[in-house]
Amino acid sequence: MRFLSILLLVAAAAAIAPAAASAATTIPVQGFLTGNDDDTPVQGEVTLTVRLHRSADDVDPPLYERQEKVAVSSGLFTVWLGTADQPLDAALFRANPGVHLGIVVNGEELTPRLPLGTSPYAAVAAEAQHATLADTARTAEALDDKAAAAFAKATHRHPWSELDGVPAGLSDGDQMPQFNGTFHSVDIIREGVASRAIGDADRRICFLSGVRLAGINGAQEDGRCELQIANAKWVLIATLKSTDVGVVECTAACFTW
């Protein structure tokens, strides 16, 4: 059996559209088969295998292979590269620019193999266009549809006079603020809570600088130190839960500017 001619078609709606949606495609192949002894068109069912090879004489396993029973009418047949369930990945053509089509009819490979030409590569172009449009859409969404000119450059600068909330001493741009530190303590020797306000929270930062627990027989949690902000003031708190006599001594350091 031999083929008289074969035509590779890429239907715009059926083949290219899936590529744009999922980077995969189906490609119809149409051909005309005749008998070995004469030019009588084949009539009936044949077992047809389509293969995609890297080149006309490639001996490596094919890039793609599909076999099916095909009805041939007056020599004409149609077979598909890829199916709806298993579409052909368009990346195959992007990675292999010289793909050739091989056809096997009832176990006999027809020669020569045929170059695919430019038709299937339209799927690659559609895939690339889709990717570009998708990237553009994602970029527009990320920028809230604002033009690039609406955003400041990474190298832009502002003078001190345009900044809000600059601490005193920094407004002239060449001085560091002067920090003054003080220490405060509070202690308790019997069960209860002792607290002490140690300064306004505005322009003052405080942290625990010392914790001493002594003579506490209960759990470690029975004696503790805390530093809180209440009513815009820093408050140092010593707590002793044990009923035994003990000592909880808390020290805080505060800095103002």
Of the candidate ranges 1-10, 96-105, 112-121, the one whose mean pLDDT is the lowest: 1-10
Confidence of residue 93 (pLDDT cuts 50, 70, 90): confident
3-state secondary structure the chain: CEEEEEEECCCHHHHHHHHHHHCEECEEEEEEEECCCCCCECCEEEEEEEEEECCCCCCCCCCEEEEEEEEEECCEEEEEECCCCCCEECHHHHHCCCCEEEEEECCEEEEEEEECCCCCHHHHHHHHHHHHHHHHHHHHHHCCCCCHHHCCCCCCCCCHHHCCCCCCCCCCCCCCCCCEEEEEEEEECCCEEEEEEEEECCCEEEEEEEEEEECCCCCHHHEEEEEEEECCEEEEEEEECCCCCCEEEEEEEEEEC
Residue bearing the bigger pLDDT, 126 or 93: 93
Residue bearing the bigger pLDDT, 21 or 44: 44
Residue bearing the bigger pLDDT, 231 or 144: 231
pLDDT tens digit sequence for 228-253: 998 888 999 998 886 666 788 999 98
pLDDT tens digit sequence for 60-83: 999 999 999 999 998 888 888 888
Domains of the chain: 2-128 (2.60.40), 180-256 (2.60.40)
pTM value > 0.75: no
Residue 11: the pLDDT is 38
Residues 36-45 have a mean pLDDT of 83
Residue 54: the pLDDT is 92
Model confidence at 167: pLDDT above 70: no
